[in-house]
Amino acid sequence: MTDSPPTWPADIHAALKALGVRHVPCVPDAGHARLIELCRNDDEMRVVPLTTEEEGVAMLAGSWLGGRRGVLLMQSSGIGNCVNMFSTVRVGRYPLLTLIAMRGQWGEANPWQMPMGRNAAAILELSGFQVLGLDDAGMAAETVSAGGRTAFEANEMVAVLVSQRLIGSKAFAPTEDG
């Protein structure tokens, strides 16, 4: 194995571009860092830093009213900040595509991440989302393209959960420190 960076963020970026995604509201997560950078460096995309994730849900409804497609990037904790705003999307049958960097899963070392991580898919499903898991780097482009098609063409809410196994779990301390 070499240490060359993974290509799945670039695959996702290419898939988003092919879908015609232009607006990229986000609250950063380390798991999305490379993708955010790729979107920032793309002249056709506009990254919009948010103060809280629900802003992105509302913003993308406005983008759609104006004829633009977007994607909301967040980490799993952010789902909890969005729940009421999801009602607007659902009742209005607005498309919504969100890519969620998962925490509270594979090798999680921060107990504060566990509750939202565990509940992420259930909350999304209760809110009306089709939830697509992404565990395999080789499936990144395909999953995002399929999700995007359903969101933008069937006017659905689609969440792609990018697995912590794919992203890698965050280390907080060297093991010898306890």
Sites of contact with another protein (CB under 8 A):
23, 46, 48-52, 54-68, 70, 84-85, 87-88, 91-94
Min separation Cβ 23 and another protein, Å: 6
Residue 68 vs 118, nearer CB to another protein: 68
Q: How many CB atoms lie within 10 A of CB 117?
A: 22
Residue 1 vs 91, nearer CB to another protein: 91
Residue 87 vs 110, nearer CB to another protein: 87
> Which SS3 state, helix, strand or coil, does residue 97 take?
strand
Asked if 56 and 103 count as a contact pair (C-beta separation under 8 A), the reply is no
Angstrom distance (rounded) from CA 97 to CA 144: 9
Strands (E), the chain: 21-26, 46-49, 69-70, 72-75, 96-101, 129-134, 157-162
Min separation Cβ 103 and another protein, Å: 22
Min separation Cβ 20 and another protein, Å: 12
Q: Quick one: DSSP state of residue 104?
A: S
Asked if 36 and 73 count as a contact pair (C-beta separation under 8 A), the reply is yes
Residue 69 vs 103, nearer CB to another protein: 69
Residue 61 vs 132, nearer CB to another protein: 61
Asked if 74 and 100 count as a contact pair (C-beta separation under 8 A), the reply is yes
Min separation Cβ 72 and another protein, Å: 11
β partners of residue 101:
75, 162
In the chain, the N- to C-terminal Cα span, in Å, equals 29
Min separation Cβ 4 and another protein, Å: 34
Min separation Cβ 60 and another protein, Å: 6
Residue 60 vs 120, nearer CB to another protein: 60
